Chains A and B, each alone.
Chain A
Amino acid sequence: MAELVLAGVALIVIGALLPLRRPLLAAGLVVQATGIAAVGVGGAGIAIGGETAGAAFSPAISPAFGADRLTGTMLALIAGVALPAALACIAYLRHVARPGAVASLFGCFVLALAGVVTARDASALLACWELMTLLPAVASLVADASPPVRRAMFEYLAITHIGGAGVWAAILVLAERGAIGGPPLGPGGATAGFAAAAAIVGFGTKAGLGPLHAWLPRAHPVAPGPLSAVMSGAMVAVALYGLVRVLFQWMLAPAWAGPALMTVGAVTAVTGIVYAAMQPELKLLLAHSTIENMGVAAAALGASLWLHGEGAGSPAALAFGAAMLHLLTHAAAKGGLFIAAGAVQGAAGTLDLGRLGGLSGRMPLTAGVVGVAGVSLAALPPTAGFVSEWAVLQGAFGAARIDDPVAGVVAGGTVLLLAVAAGLAALTVAKMLGLVLLGPPRTAAAAAAVEAPGPMRAAGALALAALAGLVLAAGWILPGLASMVPGGIGDDGPDLLDVPATGGLAPAWTLAVLAAAAFLLTRVRGRSAARAPIWLCGQPELARAPYTGAGFTKSFRIAVDGLLRSERDVEVERRGGLVHRVTSTGRVPDLVDRFMYDPARRLALAAAAHARRLQSGSLRAYIAWLGAMVVVCLALLRAGWLS
C-alpha cells in the first residue's frame, strides 16, 4: 500500500509539471487525478490494514516521511476531496488567467497537504505546513490578482501567520523535549501548558476555530472553485489532524485542555452557522458553514481529550471516532458543494443567492450534489452527516457524565450549543436548497442555465459517490476510526461502541427502508393529479413577491436581533413631492470583526504611527539611538543582567 502512495505522489508530481505547457493542461490534470486516486486508495489500505509504512516519528531534525493508520485515513480524506476537484479543474480553469500555473500549483498544494500528514519529524512537518498555507494564496493570486483578492489573501496570510506562530512554538518545544516519537511530554509544568495552548491557538487558527477564524470566510470564497473545495474540505481537517497529534500523542494534555477545546469548538460552531445563515452568497455561506463543522469536530476532540484524562477510555475513543468521521463526512459534503458552486457559477454567471433559483430542472446532476451534500451538512438521517453528528453528541453526553460540576456546565452547554448549531444548519441548508435549486428562476441568466461540461459532471458524480459510500460505510468505519485514538481504546471499548444506532443503526438500511416507505406512499398518492396554478390562498398577485433569503431567515433574526445587531437603511427618493423610489438595504455585520479585529487594527496602526516618529530621517538622531543602546547594553552587562 505504501508503494501505491509513492506511485501516486510521483504521478501528482508529473501531473503538476505537465500543465506548464499549455496544450497539456487537461492531460496533466488527468495524471494528477490518477495520482490522487492512487494516494487515496493506498491511504485507505493503510488505514484498514493497520501496517505502518516508511519512517516512524522521530525527534531528530531531519526530514522523514511515513504513514500509520491515522495518516492513511487523512490521505484518503485528502484524496476524496482532491480527486473530484482535480477533474473539476479541467473545466473550471478555462475561465481563469494563466490556467497552467494554477493547475500546477493545485498539484503542489495537494502534495503539501499529503506532506503534512505523512511528515514524521518537526522539520518536514513545519516545511509542509508553511507550503500548505502559502500555495493556495499563490494559486488564488495567479488566477485573479484583482484588489479584493489581494486584500483577502493578505488577511488570510496575516491572520494564519500570527495565529500559526503557535504551531511553530508547539512543535519546536515538543521536538526539543524529544516528545515527537519519544515519551510524551508530561501534563504538569509550564512547558506542557504552553505547548498545549500554543497548539490549540496555532492549529485552531488554521482550522477556523474562533475567534481567529476571520480569514476563512475571506479566503475560501475568492479562491478558484476546485481550490476552495480542497481548502474547505481538506486543509481545515489537516489542521485538526495536527492538533490530534500534539494533544493526544506527543503530550499528556493538561486537564484544562479538553474542556477548553470543547468550549471553543461549541461556541465556534454556533457563531459560524449563525453567520452562514445570514450570507447572501453561496460560497460565503459554505465557508461560514465550514467554520461550524470544524467547531463541531473540535468539540468532539475536546470531549475525547477530557474523557481520556478522566480515564474513561472507551467513551473517549467514541468521541475521537466521532470527530474523525465528522471530518470525513464534512470533507465529502463540502468538497462536493464547492465544486457544485463552481458549476453554478459557470452556468448562471453568479453566486448571488438572490439571482439563482430553479436550477434543479436544468442542472439535474449538480442539483443532486447540492441536495445530497446539503442534507448531509444539515445532519439529517439517514445521511453520513447524521451518523457523525450522532456520534459527536454521544461524546458530549459522555463528557456530561464526568463526575465534576464543570462537566455539567461545559458538556451540558456544549450539547445545547450543538443542538442550536444543528437547528441553524437546517435553516441554512433549506435556504440554500430553496434559493439555488427550487422555485422560479429569479433572473434570465438563471433561467438559461445549462448543465456543467463533462469533467465538472464527472467531478460531481465522484462527489456523490463519496457521499453515498460514506452513508453505506458509516456504521462500519466509526468503530474503526474510534480504534485509531492514540493511546488505545481501553478494555471495554468494543462493547461501548455497540451503543444502539452505530452498528444497529446501519444508515444504509435505514435509508433503504425510508426510501421504500416513501416510494410506497408516493404510489398511494394516486395517478390522477390535477394540474393547477399555485393556489396562494387565492391571491395570485403574491407570486410577484417571492421570498428572499433575508426574508426566510428573518423569523430567526428578529428573535436574536439584540445579539446580532443587524443594520438596515431605507433611502426614500422624492421628486416634486412624490416618492419616486424607495431603496432598502440590510446587512448583518460580523461582530467579531467589529469588536475584535477593527479595534486591533486601529491599535496596530496607532502604534505604527508612534513608531514611525523614530524614523526622523536624521543621521544624528540614529547615531544617538545607537549610542544610547550601546550604553544601556553595557550598563546591563555591568549589572549582571546579560551574560
Chain B
Amino acid sequence: MTGTAAVLGALSVLALAAGPGLAGLVQTAKARLQGRRGADPLQPYRDLRRLWRRSVVDPEGTGAAYRTAPAVIAAVTAAAVLMVPLGADAPRWPFLGADALLVVGLLATARMAGAVSAWDTSAAFGMMGAARDLAYAVSGEALLLGTLLVAALPAGTTDLRGLWAAAAQAETWRTPAHWAGLLAVALVVLVETGRQPIDNPDTHLELTMIHEGPLLEYAGRDLAMLTWVAGARHWIVMGLAAGVFLPHPSGAAAGAVVTVAWLPVLAAATALAESSQAKMRLGRAPRLLASGAVLTLLGAVAWAFGAGL
C-alpha cells in the first residue's frame, strides 16, 4: 500500500465517525432556513452517547431476526462507508474491493435486514415503514443503477476509484450523460438519506414515516446503532455524489480535499431542498424516482450517440 492509499484509507476509517455530524449539519441548516435556532451539528453525537448508556429491549415473541438486525445493518453500512471513493489511489480494501455495485448491494442488504426485523416484531408501524421502504427501493434501485451506469460508461469500469478519476477529467463533463447523472444523483441523495419530499426524518406520524418506522421497536444500543446508520448513509450517498459526479481535481491531495469539501455543500443543499417543498404523496414518489431513472437512460442513449467502445 502506497503512502497516498494509506492516508486515504485512514480518512475512510475516520469517515465512520463523521456520518452523524453530516446528518447534524443538515438538521442545523434546516432549522436556520426555517427560522429556528435548532441544535448544533454535534447533537447526533450527544444522542448517540445517551442511547449508548441505556439498555436494549427484547420484545416478547421476537427472535434472532430482531436481535441481529441492528448489528447486521451497522456492519454492512460500515463496509459501504469504507468503500466511498476519496481518490483514484484509495485502497482496494481486502475482502471488500471497491466496486460500485457492491455498495448498492450492501445498502439493499441493510434494507432487507430492517424489513425482516419488522416482520419479526410484526408491529404495524414498523411493517408500514418497511413495506414503503422496499416499495420505494424498486424504482430507487433503478435510479441508483442508472446513475452508476452513466458514470460507468465514460469510465469503462464500475470500480469506484475509476469512477472518481473519470469525474476529474474535463472530457467527462462534455458528455450529456454526466449531466443527466448529476441530476439523477440529486434524487438519489434525497431518497437514500430519507429526506423530503420522499421521507421525513423529523416526524413519527404513521402517514408519512418510512425509515423511522422499524426503529420504533428498538431502544438503547440497538437504537444507537440504527441512528448511527442513518447518519452514515448521509456520508455514503453524499460521498458517492461528490466523488463520482461533482467536479474535483485529479491530484490525490487536492482531489480528496475537494471531495470532502463538497459534503457540507451537499448537506446545505439537502436542507434547502427539504425546506422548500412539501412531502410527496406515497403513490407519487416512486414515479418521481422512476422519471429520474428514465433520465439516466436518456443519458446512456446520448452517450451511445456520442462516443464509442
Closest residue of chain A to B132 (Cβ to Cβ) is: A555
Within 8 A of A (CB), among B90-138: 92, 94-99, 101-102, 105-106, 108-109, 111-112, 115-116, 118-125, 127, 130-132, 134-138
8 Å CB contact of A380 from B95, B109, B145: B109
Residue A620 CB within 8 A of the other chain? no
Indicate whether A554 reaches chain B with its CB closer than 8 angstroms. Answer: yes
Interface string of B204-233 (1 = CB under 8 A from A): 101000000000110111100100000000
Compute how far the CA of A506 lies from the CA of B102 in the bound complex, rounded to whole angstroms: 12
Question: Interface with B: A148-156, A329-337, A427-435, A629-637, which one?
Answer: A427-435
Any B CB within 8 A of the CB of A510: yes
If A434-B119, A552-B127 touch, whether A416 touches B146 (CB-CB below 8 Å) is yes
B102 touches A505 (CB 8 A): yes
Residues of B within 8 A of A162 (CB): none
A413 within 8 A of B: yes
**For residue B308, which residue of chain A has the nearest CB?**
A403
State the Cβ distance, A247 to closest chain B Cβ, in Å: 22
From A380, A409, A430, A512, name the one whose CB has the most chain B CB atoms within 10 angstroms: A430
Measured CB to CB, the closest approach of chain B to A420, in angstroms, equals 5
Q: Is residue A227 within 8 Å, beta carbon to beta carbon, of the partner chain?
A: no
Whether A403 lies near B105 (C-beta < 8 A) is no
Q: What B residues does A505 contact at CB under 8 A?
A: 96-97, 99, 102
**CB of A402, distance to nearest CB on chain B (Å):** 6
Q: Does A444 contact B (CB under 8 A)?
A: no
> At the interface with chain B, which of A70-78, A115-123, A297-305, A515-523?
A515-523
For A129, the chain B residues whose CB sits under 8 A away are none
| Contact for A559 among B111, B135, B206, CB less than 8 A | B135
Interface size bracket, B side: 35 or more
Q: Is A191 an interface residue (CB 8 A)?
A: no
- Residue B268 interfacial (CB < 8 Å): no
Cβ–Cβ < 8 Å partners of A535 in chain B: 59, 123, 216-217
Q: Does any Cβ of A come within 8 Å of B58's Cβ? A: yes
Q: Which one, A393, A404, A530, A543, contacts B58 given CB within 8 A?
A: A530
- Tally inter-chain residue pairs, CB-CB below 8 A: 291
CA distance A360 to B294 in the complex (A): 41
Tell me which residues across on chain A come within 8 A of B68, comparing CB atoms. Answer: 518, 522
Q: A400-B153, A416-B297, A423-B140 are in contact. Are A534 and B304 (CB under 8 A)?
A: no
Interchain CA distance A537-B217 in the complex, whole Å: 8
Q: Contact residues of B with A, CB < 8 Å? A: 55-65, 67-68, 70-72, 74-76, 78-79, 92, 94-99, 101-102, 105-106, 108-109, 111-112, 115-116, 118-125, 127, 130-132, 134-142, 144-146, 149, 152-153, 156-159, 204, 206, 216-217, 219-222, 225, 282-287, 293-294, 296-297, 300-305, 307-309
Inter-chain contacts of B303 with A (CB < 8 A): 408
User: Bound complex: CA of A26 vs CA of B31, how far in Å?
Assistant: 72
- Chain B residues with CB below 8 A from A416, complex form: 142, 145-146, 293-294, 296-297
Q: Which residues of A contact B286 (CB under 8 A)?
A: 556, 559-560
**CA gap between A407 and B306 in the complex, in Å:** 12
Known: A416-B142, A535-B216, A558-B282. A439 touches B115 (CB 8 A): no
List which A279-327 residues lie within 8 A (CB) of chain B. 310, 312
Q: Of A360, A500, A529, A560, which contacts B63 at CB under 8 A?
A: A360
Asked if A187 lies at the interface with its beta carbon under 8 angstroms from chain B, I say no
CB-nearest residue of chain B to A535: B217
By a CB distance below 8 angstroms, the chain B residues around A553 are 131, 135
Given A360-B63, A423-B140, A514-B75, also A556-B105 (CB < 8 A): no
Specify which chain B residues have a CB less than 8 angstroms from the CB of A415 in the assembled complex: 145-146, 149, 300
In the complex, which residues of chain A have a beta carbon less than 8 angstroms from the beta carbon of B136?
555
Question: A57 at interface (Cβ–Cβ under 8 A)?
Answer: no
1/0 contact string of A380-421 vs chain B (CB within 8 Å): 110000100110011001001111111111011101111110
* Chain B residues positioned under 8 Å from A434 (CB to CB): 115-116, 118-119, 122
